Amino acid sequence: MVNTSPQHSTPTDSTSDIPPLESGDRLIRPEFERRYNAMPNLKKAELIEGVVYVGSPLRFEPHAEPHGNLMIWLGNYKVATFGVRLGDNPTVRLDLDNEPQPDAILLIDAACGGSSHLSTDGYVEGAPELVAEVAASSASKDLYDKKRAYRRNGIQEYIVWQVFDSTVSWFSLQNGEYVALIPNGLGIIQSQVFPGLWLDVSALVAGNMQQVLTVLQKGLSSVEHQMFIQQISI
């Protein structure tokens, strides 16, 4: 993974004079970006509610493999849906106190009416329609400070896969609050923002990606998905 920190250094910057980012630092976004840019070997750092979180090395089963499976699921939806874009660990500029680097984002392209856009230097600004995170457990910041920041900035859907708890929480923004989407009688959650994005929760948790993609294909074949494609193609 490459460093996705925004590039805002100037010719007068001396990296030797710039303090390193450390977890627990309290900064606003411009200073966070300045320090992140001065650390080219740093793989991941986030600013959440004004507090810096520097990423630790990631283990395969608790994070890397679930992350890969999320990307397979979201990637298949993206391929089948015109006007939808998918990002892996992108820097997202939300506000002065929040610059997360989510595990995955799914967004509607700005040209098709999406709520976020790319800045002149290539970073996501504003609220992508859907954010997904892989968390170790329910004790993670993903379900507290980060969730609050995403809600306040208008991210319409937020997925948190709590690997150790074998739980997937999928929140939908309704009247300014996050409401948990509940699986139907078949154990499937259907996105409220991306018609046809269906998830067999038990299959994902169990690593049964064939079943995950079978259910997704049913969503992609639905009338709602076809109508959605027509809508954003206009």
- Phi and psi at 132, nearest 5°, equal -130, 135
SS3 151: helix
Query: Which amino acid, one-letter code, is at 126?
Result: G
Evaluate whether 109 touches 81 at the Cβ level (below 8 Å).
no
Evaluate whether 94 touches 105 at the Cβ level (below 8 Å).
no
pLDDT at 122: 92
SS3 146: helix
pLDDT at 7: 52
Mean pLDDT of 48-62: 90
What pTM was estimated for this model as a whole? 0.88
Asked if the model's pLDDT at residue 1 lies above 80, the reply is no
Over residues 132-170, the pLDDT tens digits come to: 999 977 667 788 899 999 999 999 999 999 999 999 999
Asked if the model's pLDDT at residue 6 lies above 70, the reply is no
Mean pLDDT of 70-85: 97
Over residues 192-219, the pLDDT tens digits come to: 999 999 999 999 999 999 999 999 999 9
pLDDT at 204: 98
What confidence tier does 57 reach under pLDDT thresholds 50, 70, 90? confident
pLDDT at 218: 98
Strand order through the sheet with 116-118: 92-93, 124-126, 116-118
- Phi and psi at 169, nearest 5°, equal -100, 125
Would you state the structure tokens that stand for residue 167, as one six-digit string?
């739980």
Give the domains, in start order, of the chain with CATH numbers: 15-54 (no CATH), 60-233 (3.90.1570.10)
The CA distances from residue 103 to 29, 67, 70, 130, in Å, are 20, 7, 9, 11
pLDDT at 142: 86
